[in-house]
């Protein structure tokens, strides 16, 4: 099962890498982005992905009902880096 676990983890990383730019674009397209992003940045760094998931739909991908934590984390890192 180690090979299966490694494959699953690799697939999750690849999916997150593919979805994070969608989250970033959704954030930048949000008319409330500046105010919302400033509010999220006031939280502790380890809380920011949760704050994003609770206050926005940026990390909720089309066809999904819930945001994805890994996507929210990667998205937050990209937004903070200015990419």
Tens of pLDDT, residues 14-72:
888 999 999 999 999 999 999 999 999 999 999 999 999 999 999 999 899 999 999 99
C-alpha dihedral sign at 59, 22, 8, 70: negative
Q: Are 40 and 30 in contact (CB under 8 A)?
A: no
The span from the CA of 71 to the CA of 49, in Å, is 9
Q: How confident is the model at residue 83 (pLDDT cuts 50, 70, 90)?
A: low
The span from the CA of 59 to the CA of 73, in Å, is 9
Predicted TM-score (pTM) of this structure: 0.84
Place of tokens 């502790």: 44
């Amino acid at each position: 099962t180690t090979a299966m676990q490694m494959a699953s983890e690799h697939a999750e990383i690849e999916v997150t890498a593919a979805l994070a730019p969608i989250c970033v674009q959704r954030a930048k397209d949000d008319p409330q982005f500046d105010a919302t992003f400033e509010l999220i940045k006031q939280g502790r760094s380890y809380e920011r992905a949760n704050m994003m998931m609770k206050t926005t739909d940026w990390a909720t991908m089309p066809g999904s009902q819930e945001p994805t934590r890994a996507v929210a984390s990667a998205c937050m890192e990209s937004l903070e880096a200015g990419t």
